[in-house]
Amino acid sequence: MARKFLYLVLAIALLVIAAGFALNIWSRELTALALVPSSEFVEQDPLADNAYQDPEMWFSRPGIGIDDPARWQPAIQGEGRVLPPSGETAPPDFAVFFVHPTSYLDRNNWNAPLDDAESQKVARLYLRGMASPFNQASEIWAPRYRQATVGAFLTDSEEAGQALDAAYRDVAQAFAYFRDTVDAGTPIVIAGHSQGALHLLRLMREEVAGTPLQQRVIASYIVGWPISIDRDLPALPFPACATPDQSGCILSWSSFAEPADPSALLETYASSAGFDGELRGQSAILCTNPLTGGIGGAAEAASNPGTLVPDEDMANGELVPGLVPARCDDRGLLLIGDPPEMGSAVLPGNNYHVYDIPLFWRSIQADVGQRASAWQAAR
């Protein structure tokens, strides 16, 4: 019972991130009281320059073996095995840098201690469901980092900004080690969800744009964080992915079943500043359709080769073909039709934020392989 309650609380917390710092079922005041730290921000000691040389600083990296959560693989429903991804040829070697979403709910700290057992356990579960579609990669790297607590997304205080900056510094340091360690001829994929996606948007602007590394990026999967086509995309080093065989581009979506109530997300999105400094307002949100690999459009459930449906404790699951369709609406949200049965982590407003990646697990597996092959063909 306690474990199920943990995941319910975690699901509610993730709604805070996706919906823009507010919950549909609680007032802003009660939410802040429950989740925003009341203490002053404590400056995080810098990690040692060689911190990420330590394998213990990574959830996933080459050499971890069977305990690597990103290398976990689900079975096809009724078959007990995972079929190879679609495609006529195997993709070239490529490396993935994946940043996990928020798994720390404690209001006693603005940033998660690296030795916090519960948040680390939940992060590993997330990686099993969210990083595993990238398993065709020759290398998957997913760092541990001192993530901002969920309460940092509920306030505009200086402390919240400091917590996010501190978390980003860890991610940037991990990325620098990844960049310097992966062979210089190996193309890379950048991927993350929610808080992880937020940090990657900054990383692309500050550490990738205008560098030789930019030409090595196969694609960036920035999922569960809204990107304004007008206010944000021009400041990023890559365009949106318009076709499934395009490389060097960005994919992004936020999933809702119908009837959808995204009012909290859209209200806060409209009042937030884009990367160009202007309010995002009514500017369109980038919506990649993961079933087609393009911008917008619709696809029937029959074209979905496999949704990862988790079991009760979210530690395992199986792939179910043909479960959900995908349609980008005029607001830039990804609608998945009637609510599919995915478990207890569905959020108010029919928000399927927790399942943004599992809903399209096998499509993403095929998508990244196709883009890796397209990157190689272009060279």
Q: What is the pLDDT of residues 239-278, one digit of tens each?
A: 999 999 999 999 999 999 999 999 988 988 999 999 999 9
Q: What is the pTM of this model?
A: 0.91
Task: Kindly state the average pLDDT of the residues 353-368.
Answer: 97
Residue 228: strand pairing partners: 285
Residue 85 has pLDDT above 70, yes or no: no
**DSSP count for the chain of H helices, then E strands:** 7, 15
DSSP state of 204: I
100-113: pLDDT as tens digits: 999 998 888 999 99
The pLDDT score that the predictor gives to residue 21 is 36
The pLDDT score that the predictor gives to residue 71 is 95
- Amino acid identity for residue 206 in this structure: E
Residues 170/176/182/184 CA torsion (nearest 10 deg): 160
The pLDDT score that the predictor gives to residue 12 is 42
CA distance 69 to 24: 32
The pLDDT score that the predictor gives to residue 25 is 36
CA distance 121 to 185: 34
Please state, for a pLDDT cut of 90, what percent of the chain lies above it: 75
Confidence class of residue 316 from pLDDT cuts 50, 70 and 90?
Answer: confident
Q: DSSP string of 109-176?
A: -SB--TT-HHHHHHHHHHHHHHTGGGTTSSEEEEE---PBPGGGGS---HHHHHHHHHHHHHHHHHHH
Q: Which residue has the higher pLDDT, 304 or 32?
A: 304
Residue 9 has pLDDT above 80, yes or no: no
- Both tokens of residue 121? 């356990």
- Both tokens of residue 342? 């995915």
The pLDDT score that the predictor gives to residue 37 is 84
The pLDDT score that the predictor gives to residue 154 is 79
- Residue among 302, 271, 204, 215 at smallest CA distance from 21: 271
Residue 14 has pLDDT above 70, yes or no: no
Which stretch of 55-59, 99-103, 124-128, 149-153 has the lowest confidence by average pLDDT? Answer: 149-153
**Average pLDDT in the chain:** 89
- Amino acid identity for residue 147 in this structure: Q
Residue 87 has pLDDT above 80, yes or no: no
Which stretch of 26-30, 227-231, 364-368, 373-377 has the lowest confidence by average pLDDT? Answer: 26-30
Query: At 95, is the secondary structure helix, strand, or coil?
Result: strand
- Amino acid identity for residue 351 in this structure: N
- Phi-psi label, residue 87: left if phi above 0, alpha if psi -120 to 50, beta otherwise: left
Which stretch of 47-56, 149-158, 173-182, 203-212 has the lowest confidence by average pLDDT? Answer: 149-158
The pLDDT score that the predictor gives to residue 86 is 58
